Each structure stands twice: as C-alpha cells, then as structure tokens.
C-alpha cells in the first residue's frame, strides 16, 4: 500500500486503471475473426509496400544505368509502352477512388 500511495496522491492510479480497462476491452474484442482480418490487412500492406519498393529500386537502377537523363521525346515515347500506360492507369484510378472518398 505504501508503494501505491504516491500514485494515488498524484492521481496517476486512475490512468493505470484506465489502461488496464482498455487492455481488457481489447482482449474481449479480439476474437479469431478480428485477428484474421487484422493479419490479412498487415499482410496486404507488407506486400504492397514490398512491391512499391521493389519497383522503385528497379526503376532507379535502370535510370542510373543511363549515362544521360532521358530527353523529353524519350519520356513521351515511354508513354507509348503498354506497361507504362498500365502503371499510369493504376495511379490515376487510385487517385480517382481517393477523390470519390473525399
């Protein structure tokens, strides 16, 4: 009891009780279905970030291998590539979805 007295005097014991209450509520909420949903979200986020980092690393290496920066004409020719158009379409569609949600 002597060790709890400073916490009681400072009003910090209520914070500890609130934290324990929060942890208890989380244990009640985290059933098997919720854990599966959360693990799927974490897995998807990790996969997405890995793909983006990998694509950025590859693109950076390809550009670094060139001796001069690409010209404007070369950049416009890059838009003619089907893979580039697919990537641009994904980015534009993602922006479209974000805009709808705003």
| pLDDT of 49 | 96
Instruction: Provide the 8-state DSSP code for 30.
Output: -
Sequential pLDDT tens for the chain (102 residues): 788 888 788 888 888 888 999 998 888 888 888 888 989 999 999 999 999 999 999 999 998 899 898 899 998 999 999 999 999 999 999 999 999 999
| pLDDT of 45 | 96
Residue 45 C-alpha from the chain's centroid: 5
pTM higher than the cut 0.85 = no
| pLDDT of 100 | 93
């Amino acid at each position: 009891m002597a060790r709890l007295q400073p916490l009681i005097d400072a009003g910090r014991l209520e914070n500890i009780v609130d934290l324990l209450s929060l942890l208890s509520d989380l244990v009640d909420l985290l059933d098997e279905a919720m854990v599966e949903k959360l693990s799927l979200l974490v897995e998807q986020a990790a996969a997405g970030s890995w793909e983006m980092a990998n694509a950025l690393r590859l693109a950076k290496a390809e550009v670094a291998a060139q001796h001069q920066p690409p010209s404007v004409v070369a950049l416009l020719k890059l838009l003619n590539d089907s893979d580039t158009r697919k990537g641009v379409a994904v980015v534009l569609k993602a922006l479209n979805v974000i805009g709808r949600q705003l």
